[in-house]
Amino acid sequence: MVIFDPIRQLSYILLPMSSSLHSSILRALFVAVKPLARALLRAGVGYREFADVAKAAFVHEASNEFGLRGRPTNTSRVAIMTGITRKEVKRIRESDMASFFEYTASIAPAALILDAWYADPDYLSESGTPKTLE
C-alpha cells in the first residue's frame, strides 16, 4: 500500500541545492540578464513589466512541467516552487496570457518632473537649458 506523503513528493523542490551550485546559477543568470535588461530598457520596458512577464513565465512552467503523475500542478505547489503567493498564482493562471504582452503606458513620477524641467519654458534658461533648481 502506497501512502501519499506530500512532504516526500515535494522534497526535491524543498531541499536546497548546494550553495556553490546555487551561487553559480545566480551568477550565470546575472550575466545572461544584463544584455536582456539593456535591450528592455532601450525598448522602454521597465522592471515592473519585466517582473510581471517573468512571474507569468515561472507560473506557466511550474504549472505545466512539474505536475505529479501526469496531472496539472495545483496552485499551492506552484506557489511553493516559485515563491509567488497563491493569490498571485491564481490570478496569473486565470488571466489571459496575452494581457502580459500588451503595452501599457506608465510614466514614473520622476520622469514627469524631469520632462517638465527640460521642456517647460518656466524652468529653462535663455539658452534653452534647464535652470538650476533652488
**How would you write the pLDDT of the chain (134 residues) with one tens digit per residue?**
445 554 444 444 445 567 788 888 889 999 999 999 999 988 888 888 899 999 999 999 888 887 777 777 889 999 998 999 999 999 999 887 776 676 655 666 777 777 777 788 888 888 888 888 77
Using a CB cutoff of 8 Å and minimum separation of 24, what contacts does 47-52 make?
48/106, 49/104, 52/100
Angle at 64 between CA 60 and CA 66, to 5 degrees: 115
80: left (phi over 0), alpha (psi -120 to 50) or beta: alpha
pTM: 0.61
The answer to whether 130 touches 124, Cβ cutoff 8 Å, is yes
Task: Give CA–CA dist 118/23, Å, rounded.
Answer: 43
The answer to whether 117 touches 130, Cβ cutoff 8 Å, is yes
